[in-house]
């Protein structure tokens, strides 16, 4: 028997035709919105609140081993992170954290990641007040120029983004290979492994779902039927044909599931589950006894001048004179040009190489306790939206202050933080 399109349309009532047209329109709309989506050009890390970026994770010594790579080349992001003692109450503690990279899609793939030297492809725990070392090995996949950040995702706290660097990838993605050796000794290319079957399997279920949706849509629609069933009219509208259709569908789905499961088991008799457990007890960086301590004596933030002024009482317990050389917070580095004679390698947008000054530039002698006013001033403070500090519910800043030994150049780390008073008029002073 042959059915012409004209016959088919004639067989469909007006209401059904309208429903079919609606369905087609929805499909076209979905397809159009898919093609209209364009990649975002920024990561939006500036949109995170100032307190979140200053008082959660303090990133330092971040290094990108290369900024120019070819497709298939490997590079690494290394560095340290300090978990701020005054972790904000509004953010969940990093008891379940995950080391990650922030990049626009899989332009570089992650080959491995380590926390304190331990392989950490899974969730791990961090202690407040401690420092951790990390390393992420990446392999270039897609050609282009991308901003690549280190990032730690904190459960119930969200992603906390570290500093970013522009990475240029040359070559052609079609040459990308991602070979890995399996435990049984065979090598597979993860880039293409099992893709065809994954696609077929998904399309089988998508097609089945589409037939299911279309069937009910053509039977007075899913929502309208749902209402009627909820109103107790189920007996009137559910026909024996509907029941038969549902039964065949259920049996078919279960059979397909069993068949595919048996098939997968036969083909891959030995599998390991995804390594998704929580790694506890990662040891932090061994901190020697601090040779310098401080007490926070208050501070102000002058909004018009983008000027953070911190008063500290610093005691030098070491054996050599120390000078304040750097303040770092939210990935930004404010350097004292008296200490940093050359500009370190660091992303330009985060490096204020003349951004720090102190009220008394003479070194703090061993055994001396001195009241010092540290001045952090640079437009980057405002560009990176840390000025929002002035509008937070608790205007508290946080960060790390680095002091350097006069002779050895050895660095001493000092965690500083506390409430600051915002000032909005020009010329206001502490």
Contact positions toward Cu ion, by CB under 5 A? 43, 147, 164
Nearer to Cu ion, 153 or 228 (CB): 153
CA–CA separation, 92 vs 100, rounded Å? 18
CA–CA separation, 308 vs 313, rounded Å? 17
Q: Least separation, in Å, of the C-beta of 262 and Cu ion?
A: 47
Nearer to Cu ion, 102 or 324 (CB): 102
Q: Least separation, in Å, of the C-beta of 354 and Cu ion?
A: 24
CA–CA separation, 335 vs 327, rounded Å? 7
Give alpha helix (H) positions in 288-418: 379-383
- Give kind and range of the element (H or E) at residue 11: helix 5-11
Nearer to Cu ion, 166 or 212 (CB): 166
Nearer to Cu ion, 143 or 165 (CB): 165
Q: Least separation, in Å, of the C-beta of 87 and Cu ion?
A: 24
Copy the structure tokens of residue 376: 């952090």
CA dihedral (193, 196, 199, 202) positive or negative: negative
Question: Quick one: which of 87, 167, 155, 75 has its CA closest to 127?
Answer: 87
Nearer to Cu ion, 8 or 40 (CB): 40
Q: Least separation, in Å, of the C-beta of 146 and Cu ion?
A: 9
Nearer to Cu ion, 30 or 40 (CB): 40
Is residue 327 within 8 Å of residue 376, measured between CB atoms? yes
Is residue 414 within 8 Å of residue 315, measured between CB atoms? no
Nearer to Cu ion, 164 or 399 (CB): 164
CA–CA separation, 20 vs 163, rounded Å? 51
Q: HEC string of 235-281?
A: HHHCCHHHHHHHHHHHHHHHHHHHHHHHHHHHHCCCCCCCCCCEECC
Q: Least separation, in Å, of the C-beta of 68 and Cu ion?
A: 17
At 381, is the secondary structure helix, strand, or coil? helix
Nearer to Cu ion, 49 or 165 (CB): 165
Angle, to 10 degrees, between the axis of helix 195-218 and the axis of helix 222-230? 60
Q: Least separation, in Å, of the C-beta of 84 and Cu ion?
A: 22
Q: Least separation, in Å, of the C-beta of 347 and Cu ion?
A: 9
Q: Least separation, in Å, of the C-beta of 144 and Cu ion?
A: 14
CA–CA separation, 417 vs 310, rounded Å? 9
CA–CA separation, 260 vs 390, rounded Å? 59
Is residue 423 within 8 Å of residue 395, measured between CB atoms? no
Q: Least separation, in Å, of the C-beta of 40 and Cu ion?
A: 10
CA–CA separation, 94 vs 306, rounded Å? 30
Copy the structure tokens of residue 171: 């070559």
Number of H helices, E strands in the chain: 8, 23
Nearer to Cu ion, 52 or 339 (CB): 52
Check residue 101 and give left, alpha or beta (phi > 0: left; psi -120 to 50: alpha): beta
Beta 332-335 vs 351-352: how paired, if at all?
Answer: parallel
Q: Least separation, in Å, of the C-beta of 101 and Cu ion?
A: 11
Nearer to Cu ion, 72 or 153 (CB): 153
Nearer to Cu ion, 108 or 403 (CB): 108
Q: Least separation, in Å, of the C-beta of 125 and Cu ion?
A: 27
* Minimal CB distance residue for Cu ion: 147
């Amino acid at each position: 028997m042959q059915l012409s399109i004209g016959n088919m349309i004639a067989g469909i009532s007006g209401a059904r035709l309208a429903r079919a047209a609606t369905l087609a329109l929805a499909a076209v709309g979905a397809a159009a919105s898919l093609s209209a989506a364009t990649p975002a050009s920024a990561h939006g890390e500036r949109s995170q609140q100032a307190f979140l970026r200053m008082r959660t994770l303090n990133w330092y010594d971040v290094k990108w081993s290369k900024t120019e790579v070819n497709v298939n080349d490997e590079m690494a992001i290394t560095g340290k992170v300090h978990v701020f003692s005054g972790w904000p109450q509004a953010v969940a503690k990093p008891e379940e954290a995950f080391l990650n990279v922030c990049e626009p899609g899989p332009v570089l793939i992650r080959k491995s990641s380590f926390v304190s030297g331990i392989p950490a492809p899974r969730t791990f725990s961090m202690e407040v007040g401690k420092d951790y070392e990390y390393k992420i090995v990446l392999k270039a996949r897609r050609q282009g120029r991308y901003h690549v950040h280190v990032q730690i995702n904190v459960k119930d706290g969200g992603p906390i983004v570290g500093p970013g660097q522009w990475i240029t990838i040359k070559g052609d993605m079609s040459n990308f290979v991602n070979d890995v050796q399996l435990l049984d000794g065979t090598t597979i290319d993860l880039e293409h492994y099992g893709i065809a079957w994954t696609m077929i399997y998904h399309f089988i279920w998508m097609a089945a779902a589409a037939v299911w949706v279309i069937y009910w849509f053509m039977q007075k629609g899913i929502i309208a039927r749902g209402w009627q069933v909820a109103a107790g009219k189920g007996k009137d509208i559910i026909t024996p044909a509907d029941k038969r259709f549902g039964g065949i569908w259920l049996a078919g789905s279960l059979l397909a599931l069993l068949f595919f499961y048996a098939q997968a088991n036969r083909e891959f008799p030995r599998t390991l589950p995804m390594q998704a457990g929580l790694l506890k007890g990662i040891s932090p960086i061994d901190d020697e006894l601090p040779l310098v301590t401080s007490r926070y004596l208050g501070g102000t933030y002058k909004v018009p001048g983008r000027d953070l002024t911190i008063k500290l009482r610093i005691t030098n317990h070491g054996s050599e004179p120390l000078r304040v050389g750097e303040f770092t917070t939210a990935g930004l580095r404010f350097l004292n040009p008296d200490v940093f004679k050359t500009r370190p390698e660091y992303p330009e947008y985060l490096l204020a190489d003349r951004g720090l000054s102190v009220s008394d530039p003479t070194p703090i002698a061993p055994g001396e306790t001195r009241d010092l006013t540290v001045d952090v001033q640079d437009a980057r403070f405002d560009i990176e939206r840390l000025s929002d500090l002035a509008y937070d519910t608790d205007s508290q800043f946080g960060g790390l202050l680095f002091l350097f030994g006069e002779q050895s150049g050895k660095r001493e780390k000092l965690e500083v933080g506390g409430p600051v008073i915002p000032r909005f008029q020009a010329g206001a002073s502490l």
